[in-house]
Amino acid sequence: MLAPLVNVFRIPELRNKILFTLALLIVCRMGVYVPIPGVDTKEVAASIERASRGDAGEGLGAKMIGLVDMFAGGALSRCTVFALGVMPYISASIIFQLLTTVIKPLEELSKEGEAGRKKIAQYTRYATVLLCMVQGFFVAKWIVGTGSGSFSFVKDPDFGYYLSAVFSVTAGTIFLMWIGEQITEHGIGNGISLIIMVNIIARMPTAVRDLALSKFKMHLWPDEPGKYGLIMAALLVAVYLAIIVGVVIIQQAQRRITVQQAKHTRGRRVYGGQRHYMPLRLNQAGVIPIIFAQSLLMFPGMILEAVGSAAGAGTFQKVVMKVQGQLSSGSFIYMMLYMAMIFFFCFFWTAIVFNPIKMADDMKQYGHFIPGIRPGNRTADYLEKLMTRITLAGAAFLVAIAILPQVISRIIDLGAAASLYGGTGLLIVVGVALDLVQKIESHLLMRHYGGFLKGRKIRGSRR
């Protein structure tokens, strides 16, 4: 394992890319501690300490904030200029990817090659700025509302505060977007994905430390109720490693379809006839279905929570709060809706990014065919049927990973550390890490160095 790491730094180009990437990622983490103008940093630090002791509320609004704060690496809870992270850019990219499939001018623009992709990227940046302005206002409003009561985050929430807060978080997101593009162009790996991965990993040590201090004792089997010993800690570590191995296997899983190239004769020579494989990923949709399902399920509960609080005491308030309780995280109805929406978004997103008719037409145009399947409509039907079965298996995997933290929480109370055992964060970290290792390994193999895995290779890399 040490030999490939030494080889990484023997290649000047690869070494410079890695050091450049690390330097920019350090800048991203430094920005997490730059506060928004007008915010009292002492009160923010005191609030974070109260939340770490468990004094913070557990409403759906807090869970939504916690989800955004996870992607921002704790910047939102600290009220810093990177509070929005790169999520507005991710949202704008997803919006334009969806619009490209339904709006004809954008679809034609995407087919114009590099020039068209640059134009769509420019539109995405403009949309990112608009989303930042809107979301920045709500963040500024949330900061003022969070500091109500005996403590206050903002001493004077006037127009100047709102203006500076909106422009600060907008500039922070645009700066992160620029850093991500620089990493992609001059560094190693996808810059935006690496920023999200580093933000998620940065919160893991705190979650593990809080869990160890609050739930574990230095005994094999402690007698104190609610406390766990070293045997349970070893078991949890083994389960965590097993889950990571399972996620890696599923993330790399592919269905390889044999594709035959038609033979053609020119003069006395016969060309073509080669056989290759078309890989279809098991998890084609990535983490998008889980993010969409979580976001949509939070909104009804948040609205009911606000209506119940405003309704006052009475029968209507009891009914609203009862319905809100059924839609809260961990309830049976919530779990069923959660799983159903993950399945729906898996098929929905796969239908957007995977076009069997276009693939069949391209294969027919280049003289390729699947053995035993006629080119044209039969090939498209075969690919669609096959992708439906693969997506079903991938959706079942995403459902298992999504509900695993809640299942583990019912078995053993791990607090915030339960999120380490599945969900969006684990999928993003594993997926981005695999992509990063694949890119580094491709550089090593291109220069005739051994890769990280002797005798094996990561799916997608070429020897």
Burial code of 168-178, b = ≥16 C-beta within 10 A, e = fewer? bbbebbbebbe
What is the residue extent of each domain of the chain? 1-215
Total-model pTM: 0.81
User: How far is it, in rounded angstroms, from Cα 74 to Cα 193?
Assistant: 17
pLDDT of residue 170: 94
- Of the pLDDT bands very low, low, confident and very high (cuts 50, 70, 90), residue 23 is very high
Interval 126-161: pLDDT, tens:
999 999 999 888 888 888 876 555 556 787 788 888
Place of tokens 């159903």: 340
Weakest mean pLDDT among 163-167, 221-225, 322-326, 333-337: 221-225
Segment of 208-217, 262-271, 296-305 carrying the highest mean pLDDT? 208-217
Inform me whether the pLDDT recorded for 55 exceeds 50.
no
pLDDT cut 90: percent of the chain above it: 13
Kindly indicate the confidence band of residue 19, based on its pLDDT and cuts at 50, 70 and 90: very high
Give yes or no for residue 428 having a pLDDT over 50: yes
* Fold observed for domain 1-215: Preprotein translocase SecY subunit (1.10.3370)
Residue 175's pLDDT is 94
- pLDDT > 70: what percent of the chain? 82
Residue 57 has pLDDT above 50, yes or no: no
Tell me, what amino acid is at 114? E
Q: What is the mean pLDDT of residues 62-72?
A: 71
pLDDT value at residue 56:
46
pLDDT tens, position by position, 74-89: 888 888 899 888 888 9
* Statement: residue 167 has pLDDT above 90: yes
Can you tell me the mean pLDDT for 254-263?
A: 83
Average pLDDT in the 343-367 region?
86
Asked if 461 and 451 count as a contact pair (C-beta separation under 8 A), the reply is yes
State yes or no: pLDDT of 52 exceeds 60. Answer: no
Sorted by sequence, the CB contacts under 8 Å of residue 409 that are 6+ apart come out as 330, 418
pLDDT value of position 150 = 52
Q: Is a pLDDT exceeding 50 seen at residue 319? A: yes
**Mean pLDDT over all residues of the chain?**
80
Q: Cα angle vertex 433, ends 396, 350, to 5°?
A: 35
Residue 231 scores a pLDDT above 70: yes
Q: Encode pLDDT of 373-410 as tens digits.
A: 888 889 899 999 999 999 999 899 888 888 888 888 77
Tokens 């940046």 locate to 125
269 has pLDDT over 60: yes
Question: Would you say residue 172 has pLDDT above 90?
Answer: yes
Mean pLDDT of 298-325: 72
pLDDT score, position 105: 86
Q: How confident is the model at residue 255 (pLDDT cuts 50, 70, 90)?
A: confident
Q: What burial letters (b/e) apply to 361-393, b meaning 16+ CB within 10 Å?
A: bebbeeebbbeebebeeebbebbbeebeebbee
Q: What 3-state DSSP class applies to 266?
A: strand
Q: How high is the pLDDT of residue 462?
A: 42
49-59 mean pLDDT: 52
26, 74 in Cβ contact below 8 A?
A: no
